[in-house]
Structure 1
Amino acid sequence: MHRTVLRHEKITLQRCQSCCSNYHCPFCGPKVFKPAMEHHVVENHVRNHLSLAVQHEEFLIVKCNLQCREQAHFHCCYCPNTVIRKVQIVQHLASCKKRQVPPTEPATDEPATINEPVVPSAPIVPSAPVDINEPVVPSAPVDVNEPVVPSEPVAFKEPAVTERVPLPVKSLLVPQKSRIQKKVQCGHCGITVNKKNLDVHVKRKHTGKICDVTEDRHLPSQCIDPVSGIYAVEKSFRRPCSVIHVQKKTSGPHSVVACEMDECISKLEFAARSGFQHFECIHLKSLQFCPWPNRIPVVLDEDVLVDMIAANVFGEQTKTTCVATKAAASAAGVPLSVELTIGGPSTKKYISVYEPKVSYYGRLGRVIASYDSTRNTWHCPCAKPRSCLHKNIARWHLFQLHCQLFVSSPIDRPAQGLAQEHACQESTRLEYPPQW
């Protein structure tokens, strides 16, 4: 029989030793089903074959894709014919079984054996002694080699051919040893999933969906420079998320509406080419719910730099650069540094720093430097490992307002450091009233 005709055989999946080291499907060619390196992939494929197979008596006929024909087909278990459709193979099996003539035994001299097809309707009562060596002759001559045809043709109508029988799919597969699934962590939400399910998880849970921006559902934003129309907006609705800059200035002779995201820039350019001049991304749409700035901009004191040099935060050259950048920001009429109250998680602090040069990481003249208080690490999009101007200005800002972040523990601090920290806390309370 063909390999696709099964009769209680166990299917064992083994790695190929001839052309590759992967697992092959025993019912499909390499052009139809590409060999896989993982066992469970081929096992699920074979179970799909068995669930769609045709069961006829003790046979289980699986659809063949081994290039016996150009199309997928079924092999008959009685003859070498092949059938493409499943309905046709069921009809073919019923008719092919009828054509199979049962074998006849050779004639012997024994009287009336159990293989004789003649069954008398009534017992024969002999009128004279009967010779046991003489065979019983019925009332009408019957050909022994011709089978008796019943009155109703019900002998070959078997329910197994027409009715669907649950297939023992799992019993045909040889059980493999349980393998330890490799766990990975999702980069969006942080949960741990199996490595093979990571792509499906990202597609279902973290695929971007277009939703309208409303009063109940919008991105939190904060005004940085109301004169130039610079705002800070959270990047996405998923938490935790970073913060980006947008600009929306509609007053004055030159109106500017821009976003830092590359995807939003492409959408704005496409809308402008299509004639939609008033198109806005979700970051720009969320600005209509931005609260009005009620904080006084923080002016960084140059005397704090002297304390930072004494604390070995940075050196004299960095101090000179920071003072020059402060003078450039004052000349441009923009704030040097602004601490953001949006973004996450709560252990991070985001500082928007003035950047005089427009570049790929500061397209709107500002850069966001972040500080993680849990890991004690800094991040800046300019990606300069050593001397980063934005990180130094952000350190200056935090040292003036939150100098307790630069002290390790109260036990190791000297009395002078404690007095300096109390002075910093007092200045912080004066700068930020309790209602804010």
Structure 2
Amino acid sequence: MDDLVIRSRRAVLPDGERPAAVSVRDGRISGVHPHGADLPAGASVDLGDIALLPGLVDTHVHVNEPGRTEWEGFATATRAAASGGVTTLVDMPLNSVPPTVDPAALAVKREAAQGACAVDVGFWGGAVPGNVPSLRPLHDLGVFGFKCFMSDSGVPEFPALSVEEMRAAFREIASFGGLAVVHAEDPASLSSPTGGGYPEFLASRPPSAERLAVEQAVRLVEETGVRAHILHVSAADCVDVLAKARADGLPVTAETCPHYLVLCADDARDPAHKCCPPIRESANREPLWRGLAADVITCVVTDHSPCAPELKRGDFATAWGGISSLQLGLPVVWTAARARGHDLRAVSRWMSEAPAALAAVPGKGGIAVGNDADLVAFAADETFTVNPAALHHRHPVTPYEGRTLTGVVRTTWLRGRPVTATPTGRLLDRTESR
């Protein structure tokens, strides 16, 4: 007998949305059945017209613990994730101290996360100047890939790579079949803002900075054979570069973020909207949506990068750059996607299936037999107004404050059990067998 059966007339499955009953046994999906099937189980839930989604996989989250836990932390970040339908996140190697650039730092990170996580958590390693000898050991210890910066990261303990250093890191990562994930902005194209307003900040990080960096990364992929993923694409000018790389058969993928798809420069009222690369003009958004529809951009992830509130005060020249949206990514994207004719299956592909495939996170990314029973009850037609006080991440700062969004997460299940205040998330290891 199964442990649990969940029925929905809007189950979002790999082949589309339809009525179905999903059975769960020992934490995994044991079957996907007709909606009315007779399925004895220890417990059953009938969602009616509430959609049943696979748990989201967010591969771009800055938890900041240890070292800058006052900015966020595993307990608060993973509670926010669960409230937003995210059942798996992969933590970036910065802005924690120490950054995850060698095996000792990975051990410190895992120790900080142990027993604190409401959802499953994996880890990226980092590629920084001088740590090529640490890349293979980190890979063997189970990190999901390696992040590098082509321009200043904003924190001194995680320096950017020069082109030569990047080439060396790519060659090493390619030698063991790893994944490089790249913050692509050309440092020579960036400048200091000439004033404290948003127009000056935006002008200091032009679209050409992204395009030039993406072109350089693609050349290094062609030279080294490494598998590479371009992070947080904000500039529409990059879409054709990425499309050509894919057409040429290069192993290059890319992501964008909810704030680039939904917000625009005119929305930037205060530093809650500041991030790098920046939120651009409204005309920039639709090419990103077309890139998603064409599978040139494959993932939508949050780049949740919070900080202490005092670092978001002041002007756009001096405030910390980072958007807090881990809890809100799903309704933000769904609100805008449905207005453009996209369905829940598309959103599920961008926010669950593709990120799980990118990082090769085992057992995640879809409602399929054998996968972990990570599931989300999502009231896709219900609306709410964003109230920062209702958010679970450490600080109530968000650029979406006061916006009316469509889609409410009602319940999140992790391996078949509703997520509660008791942390039951696991620390994921790329090397573990299932």
Smaller-chain TM-score range? under 0.3
TM-score, with length taken from structure 2: 0.21
TM-score, with length taken from structure 1: 0.21
Bigger strand fraction: 2
Q: Between Structure 1 and Structure 2, whose CA radius of gyration is higher?
A: 1
